[in-house]
Structure 1
Amino acid sequence: MALRHGHSTQRRGYALLALPLAAVLGACSSCASSVPQAAPVPSATSSNSPTNLPVQSPAAAPSSAQSKPSAATSSSTGLATKPATSASAKSTSNPAASQGSVAPLSSAASSGSASIKPLTQSGPIHSTSTTALFAAVAEGDVDSVRKALKDGAELEAKDARGNTPLMRAVLDRNHQVAKLLLADGASPNAKNKSQESPFLRASAFGLEDVLRSALAHGADVNSVDRLGSTALFVASEAGQVESVRVLLQHDIPLDKVNDLGWSALHVTISLGQGSNNSLSIARLLLAAGANPHLTDPSGSNAFELAEKRNQPQMLSALRNSSK
């Protein structure tokens, strides 16, 4: 009995010791959950999993609504934060703001501002009416051409390539506009930077009615292009029978040679390849008095040129003209 009582007393003592220890351990575990812990840094492999953020007491940290983490912190932790607004972000989110730096310049230029317009143009600066004339010619708008002329547009104004409105009309093969400009006083002899004139181009293009109008309004039949070729030469070279016919009705030099030493008859035989047009032009030139014995730089006359190029019909036309 004494032994059993001793063992019982010893176990009771252990129990009494265990109770305070358990209470202490329980208290520690309960207080551990209330202590703020540092937020774990999510790894790349766990970025898709939701992160359990620690609960902070008001005294321990400010609320998330008041905190503004830096860009470096938000990028390294992967936490959802409000990014700082940058200038580029503002311009991207607001298209009107991004265009604001350009819009005033283009707007002022389009409205005709005298101080801004020179900055946006690479060619000559013209008056409003002259600019309107060039635009009307380009569009082939006869009524707008008349209005621009009435408003005082300059007929001899030139674009960046030295073309006048008349030259532009001829290059566009716009017969009606070209004749209107000629009737209003535009010069058929004004040359561009390539030394071409409306008269020379109309001859080469075969614009018969424009050519007649140019001759009626002072076209210079002796004018030449950059190679020294006359209107008769370029018309013959291009095989324009009607242009040649019109030009021969005026006192135009028949045997004038260009800088290469060729006459209109030479180029007709050499480049015409014996075509029907070249035969017609040769007959017109010969009938007007062109010299078939005139030699080119190689020393060949019209007969020899036709023979070398195996043009029997051309050779026959030459021989018939010499009888």
Structure 2
Amino acid sequence: MSRAGRGRRGEADVRLWRPNVQQQPHSCNRSEKAMAAEGARADTQANALCAAAGCGDAGAVAKLLEQGAPLDGEDTHGNTALSCAARQGHADVARLLLSRGASVTDETKQYSPAMRKAVLCDRIETVRVLLEHGADLEARDRAGETLLMRASRLHRPDVARLLLDAGADVDAKDRVGRDAVICALMAGRPEVLRVLLERGASTVEVNYFGGDSSGSLSRSKCLSVLQNAERIQ
């Protein structure tokens, strides 16, 4: 056989023995179908549990948990039942969920979404309940903001006072050097600033913008800002 013929035969052999790479239609077995159904049921239960928690319906929450609703499951918006209860200020529901073992801290975020929502919405009793169950006072978000900084920035004087009573670090700084005093100044309201100064905010020079010392405000200037703001109000 000629060399060319051998080449053609070789090509034919390759074509003949080439593996069939066409994928066959996937058929779910009974186990996979059961898992899919279980996942759909868990999603439905998580949505129902979050809705009940957000409405403050402790009875419905307890019943759903008895029926197997995932305690730390997330609804379609990524909220847990504890976060929904915290946002709406349902301290009794938050206490119920925590007594059943709900997680205070999101391990992937390293802070408590429920606590941050409670601070955001000025839910004093819910903040207290979360603190009683071990919420981390000094947990930080990606920007390095603590709960006290958040309360100061959002003008939540009662929450700030509660956090300080629990031992929050009044002089903690975020990633660009801002502390709770700066956050209070940025909010433009005097109440939180007064709380911080009364609790011994010890910064001698605080930088309004963070970073270097340009634009820094002395403690006496902070007091002057506070007095002027109160006079205007």
* SS of equivalent to 2:49: helix
* SS of equivalent to 2:148: helix
| In the alignment, structure 1 residue 238 sits paired with structure 2 residue 151 | no
Task: Provide the C-alpha distance between the structure 1 equivalents of 2:35 and 2:70, rounded to a whole number of angstroms.
Answer: 21
TM-score by length of 1: 0.51
| In the alignment, structure 1 residue 225 sits paired with structure 2 residue 141 | yes
Verify the 8 A CA contact 2:87 2:123 in the aligned structure 1: no
Cα deviation 1:59-118 (Å, max 9, x = unaligned): xxxxxxxxxxxxxxxxxxxxxxxxxxxxxxxxxxxxxxxxxxxxxxxxxxxxxx957758
| In the alignment, structure 1 residue 292 sits paired with structure 2 residue 203 | yes
| In the alignment, structure 1 residue 198 sits paired with structure 2 residue 114 | yes
C-alpha displacement of 1:201: 2.1
The structure whose RCO (Cα within 8 Å, separation 6+) is larger is 2
In structure 2, the CA distance between the partners of 1:191 and 1:240, relative to structure 1 (3 Å rule), is: farther
Q: Which residues in structure 2 correspond to 1:166-177 (within 5 Å)? A: 166-177=82-93
* SS of equivalent to 1:245: helix
Q: What is the RMSD of the two structures over their aligned residues, measured on CA atoms? A: 3.4
Q: Which residues in structure 2 correspond to 1:1-323 (within 5 Å)? A: 114=34, 117=37, 126=42, 129-190=45-106, 197-269=113-185, 271-273=186-188, 275=189, 279-296=190-207, 297-299=211-213, 300-303=215-218, 306=221, 311=225, 313=227
Specify every segment of 5 or more residues in structure 2 that has no aligned partner in the other structure, as ranges: 1-32
In structure 2, the CA distance between the partners of 1:228 and 1:285, relative to structure 1 (3 Å rule), is: same
* SS of equivalent to 1:311: helix
Specify every segment of 5 or more residues in structure 1 that has no aligned partner in the other structure, as ranges: 1-112, 317-323
In structure 2, the CA distance between the partners of 1:245 and 1:268, relative to structure 1 (3 Å rule), is: same
2:18 is aligned to none
Cα deviation 1:190-249 (Å, max 9, x = unaligned): 268797611122123211100110010011111012211111110111111110111111
Task: Provide the C-alpha distance between the structure 1 equivalents of 2:195 and 2:226, rounded to a whole number of angstroms.
Answer: 18
Cα deviation 1:17-47 (Å, max 9, x = unaligned): xxxxxxxxxxxxxxxxxxxxxxxxxxxxxxx
TM-score by length of 2: 0.68
Pick the structure with greater CA Rg.
1
Identity over the aligned pairs, expressed in percent? 28
**Count of equivalent residues:** 193
Verify the 8 A CA contact 1:295 1:301 in the aligned structure 2: yes
Q: Which amino acid aligns with 2:194?
A: R
Cα deviation 1:124-179 (Å, max 9, x = unaligned): x6276545423422443221101112334332222355422101222334343223
Task: Provide the C-alpha distance between the structure 1 equivalents of 2:174 and 2:62, rounded to a whole number of angstroms.
Answer: 38
